[in-house]
Amino acid sequence: MSHISSLSAHGMQKLARNPVIIATFMALSLAGCASKKGLPNNASDLGLGANGVNGANATPGSSQDFTVNVGDRIFFDTDSSSIRADAQQTLDRQAQWLAKYPNYKITVEGHADERGTREYNLALGARRANAARDYLVSRGVPAGRLKTISYGKERPVATCDDISCWSQNRRAVTVLGGAGS
């Protein structure tokens, strides 16, 4: 989440100077949500892209470009760290993008839903981050560019108490820069 909140702060500073842009962006953002099907796989789909930059406006090679146009996250089945077919497509796009912009270091954050115990979920999040990392390496991303960190169930993005939220929280998020070891 840290990358998203920092984006928001950055975007808001720009936007605050021009109220017209805020109104335009909100309209675009809503349209974007409505047009997507299935599980969201990037910050914009999750309604988190409230930073004044949509896909079309993102500077190629920017973190906004990565988050919105490539998709920064993949999702997992319950208690699983297997990379699903839809997740493979997202990671393939990530690997291509990362090959194109080789200066970024990357942290893969692993997360779990709330339907598990705290310590196990810390380890499960690590397993997922490692699975995503290994996949990216298999697609040519140099291992030296990649770090991982697990937040277990401590940083949900969706907070309801049913599967519609749990399925969004079982995720690995590829963060440009970011923390981790």
Partner 1 sequence: MKSMIIRTLFMMGALFALAANPAHAVVEININKGNVTPLPIAITDFLSKDGVGKQISDVVAADLKRSGLFAPIDSKAFIEKITNPSAAPRFQDWRTINAQALVTGQVVKEGDGRLRAEFRLWDTFAGQQMIGQQYFTQPENYRRVAHIIADAIYEKITGEKGYFDTRIVFVAESGPKNARKRQLAIMDQDGYNVRSITNSNDIVLTPRFSPNHQEITYMSFEGNQPRVYLLQLETGQREVVGNFPGMTFSPRFSPDGQRVIMSLEEGGNANIFTMDLRSRTTTRLTSTAAIDTSPSYSPDGKRVTFESDRGGSQQIYVMNSDGSGQTRISHGDGSYSTPVWSPRGDLIAFTKQAGGKFSIGVMKPDGSGERILTTNFHNEGPTWAPNGRVIMFFRQNAGEAGPRLYSIDLSGYNEQMIPTPAFGSDPAWSPLLD
Contact residues for partner 1, defined by CB under 8 A: 1, 79, 81, 114-120, 122-124, 126-131, 149-151, 154-159, 161, 179-181
User: C-beta of 165: minimal distance to partner 1 in Å?
Assistant: 10
**Residue 20: φ, ψ to 5°:** -65, -40
**DSSP class per residue in 75-114:** E--TT-----HHHHHHHHHHHHHHHHSTT--EEEEEE--S
User: Are 125 and 157 within 8 A, CB to CB?
Assistant: no
User: C-beta of 175: minimal distance to partner 1 in Å?
Assistant: 11
Query: Distance (Å, rounded) from C-alpha 117 to C-alpha 137?
Result: 30
**Helices 85-100 and 118-138 sit at what angle, rounded to 10 degrees?**
60
- Would you say 130 or 167 has its CB closer to partner 1? 130
Q: Name the 3-class secondary structure at 39.
A: coil
User: C-beta of 21: minimal distance to partner 1 in Å?
Assistant: 26
- Would you say 21 or 158 has its CB closer to partner 1? 158
User: C-beta of 42: minimal distance to partner 1 in Å?
Assistant: 17
- Would you say 43 or 126 has its CB closer to partner 1? 126
- Would you say 95 or 112 has its CB closer to partner 1? 112
